[in-house]
Amino acid sequence: MQVATGQYRVASTIVKVQTEGREDLYNLSQTIRDFVKSSGVRDGIVMVSSLHTTCAILINEWQEALVHDVKAYLAGLISKDDYYRHNDPAWSDCDRHNADSHLRSLMLGMNLTLQVADGDVVLGEFQSVIVAELDGPRERTIRLQVMGI
């Protein structure tokens, strides 16, 4: 077991992501790593939070063939054309017809917490942190916050 102590600090920043297409994946790993390194926090956690209800955060390998598969999987995960009250003007004032995007996003999750050690984000060799657009194209706001010593 490794143990460290010190002065607790919190640093945060906002990242804007311009997505393309209704489904889109964006690799945020390097942005997160750069932010953590510049924060001065060596041991703790970093949180990656989508401030939306139709845009998720996930981890996967960033391989071109697999990115294609993940997009195709997410596009078909939940039927877009089933009846939803959220898409029905009699029940809802939302004109985006995006109930399926809400459902996909809540299944995937909009917040991710990662370990920070030795001044860097702890990720496996094949792990990338990915913003998953599920109702684009839009400009998305992702908030990063690193906390520790």
Asked if residue 27 binds a second copy (CB under 8 A), the reply is no
Could you identify the residue written with the tokens 């985006």? 96
Asked if residue 22 binds a second copy (CB under 8 A), the reply is no
Query: Which residues make Cβ contacts (< 8 Å) with residue 136, sequence separation at least 6?
Result: 19, 20, 21, 22, 23, 24, 55
How far is residue 21's CA from residue 25's CA, in Å, rounded to a whole number?
10
Are the CB atoms for 148 and 39 separated by under 8 Å? Answer: no
For the segment 30-69, give every residue that binds a second copy (CB under 8 A). 35, 38-40, 43-45, 47, 49-53, 58-61, 63-66, 68-69
For the segment 74-103, give every residue that binds a second copy (CB under 8 A). 78, 84-86, 88, 91-92, 94, 99, 102-103
For the segment 98-137, give every residue that binds a second copy (CB under 8 A). 99, 102-103, 105-115, 117, 122-127
